A = this chain, B = another copy of it.
């Protein structure tokens, strides 16, 4: 294979100088339409490919955005990553995606690598604990970065935070269960002490306090398997309803109750959180707090682009609204 042609080859072919070729590459309007066409034709003829490394070196911008996610296997994050990536791609940015797998040390290495690659900005859904290094690193490199869905660095002026209004979401869910006649409502899932858990729990606790009912809390992992495992404890506690930390826990509980022969929607009412696709695809269908993750991902991409390109720093804290989607798992009414 020959070495790749450069702008010099294109220039020779088109009979112009290499500066002109460079300007065409940047869509500068100082170049006459005819010339532009001629250059484009020359590029096509000799199979020219743009060398971004060279451009990046000179212009200090790579057209690359870094995305580091604490758990990429979780479908909620997968959806976020996918939509963010596709939105950025439509604007000409490639996305380096990495899963930190809840490992702060790995997260820090990944971020370091992305900085070396010259990412123009970072989006981080951080691990809990040990994030200091990571954000200090980002600060030193001077790369714009936003924290999404989890806030682990308090400097939201430097690292703006965007998430959903989860407290309202769980309050809505709890109130709905009370209206359905539930008497013993449990909160299930989420690691105790994690900011997001406390936030989602706060709406539940507020409603329980308001109605003078005892709170029943089962903390744990945010996975289907935790939902399955905790089912018996809920039955033992005579819970007749559950506000779950997220849909995975709710779906696990759903499976656990089916297994235990408890009628979902009557014996036990379940509400999840995130409204992932599976909620509408299990039977009975699962009620959930709907977070418009596609819209959130697109908005995040837009905020990031405005920051990178126009220098508009996003607001320190943004909360996207949420919505309760009522289905059979909390009403017992199968459509």
Q: Which residue of chain B has the shortest Cβ distance to A284 in the bound complex?
A: B259
Asked if residues B78 and A73 are in contact (CB atoms below 8 Å), the reply is yes
| Given contacts A52-B118, A258-B283, A96 and B98 within 8 Å (CB-CB) | no
Within 8 Å of chain B (Cβ to Cβ): is A146? no
Known contacts: A72-B82, A255-B281, A281-B251. The answer to whether A115 contacts B49 by CB under 8 A is yes
Residue in contact with A89 in the complex, picked from B52, B113, B252, B334, CB distance below 8 Å = B113
Q: Does A35 belong to the interface (CB within 8 Å)?
A: no
Judge if A1 is at the interface, Cβ distance under 8 Å. yes
Q: Could you tell me if A259 and B283 are in contact, using CB atoms closer than 8 angstroms?
A: yes
- Could you tell me which residues of chain A, from 256 to 289, have a CB within 8 Å of some CB in chain B? 256, 258-259, 277-278, 281-284
Instruction: Report yes or no: A73 in contact with B75, Cβ–Cβ below 8 A.
Output: yes
**Closest Cβ–Cβ distance, residue A142 to chain B (whole Å):** 4
> Can you spell out 18 A-B residue pairs with CB atoms less than 8 angstroms apart?
A49-B116, A51-B118, A52-B118, A53-B117, A57-B57, A63-B117, A64-B96, A72-B78, A72-B81, A72-B82, A82-B99, A89-B106, A94-B96, A94-B114, A95-B97, A95-B98, A224-B277, A258-B258
Q: Is there an interface contact between B95 and A281, defined as CB atoms closer than 8 Å? A: no
Spell out A's residues near B (CB within 8 Å): 1, 4, 47, 49-54, 56-57, 62-64, 72-73, 75, 78-79, 81-82, 85-86, 89, 92, 94-99, 101, 106, 109-110, 113-118, 140-142, 224-225, 228, 251-252, 255-256, 258-259, 277-278, 281-284, 334
Question: In the assembly, how many copies of this chain are there?
Answer: 2
Inter-chain contacts of A56 with B (CB < 8 A): 53
Q: A81 — which chain B residues lie within 8 A by C-beta?
A: 72, 97
Contacts of A49 in B (CB 8 A): 115-116, 141
Looking at the assembled complex, report how far the CB atom of A6 sits from the nearest CB atom of chain B, in whole angstroms. Answer: 11
Question: Given the complex, which residues of B lie within 8 Å of A116, measured CB to CB?
Answer: 49-52
**In the complex the two chains form, what is the Cα distance from A126 to B101 in whole Å?**
27
